[in-house]
Amino acid sequence: MDGLTVRELNDILNSLTDFISIRDYKEWSKFAFLAATMANLLAGKKGKAYEIEDFIGPPPWEKKKQKTKEEMREELEELKKKLGGDV
């Protein structure tokens, strides 16, 4: 750990957090698969077909797209207009 910058430590922590969330999702997806199967059996043909994501949400590797600098500037300009001045 000696000689690492705060940014490097933060990157390591983020990588570990991502790894753990993916591992946990894969483990819980087994139970979500069973839940979806049971729900589909009980619903029969009349309801919508349940999927794993209906029980545990989307996979963590499908993260939301980060905004570009231009998109952030546009949002800031919109906020300035709404507030009626410079921010």
Per-residue model confidence as pLDDT tens digits over 49-87: 999 999 999 998 886 667 788 888 888 888 888 787 665
User: Is 7's pLDDT higher than 90?
Assistant: no
What's the alpha-carbon Rg for the chain, to the nearest Å?
A: 21
Percent of the chain with pLDDT over 90: 38
pLDDT at 29: 95
The C-alpha atoms of residue 17 and residue 24 are separated, in whole angstroms, by 11
The C-alpha atoms of residue 11 and residue 21 are separated, in whole angstroms, by 15
Mean pLDDT confidence for 6-18: 88
Cβ–Cβ under 8 Å, residues 25 and 59 = yes
Cα 36 to chain center, whole Å? 21
Q: What is the pTM of this model?
A: 0.60
The C-alpha atoms of residue 75 and residue 55 are separated, in whole angstroms, by 33
pLDDT at 51: 94
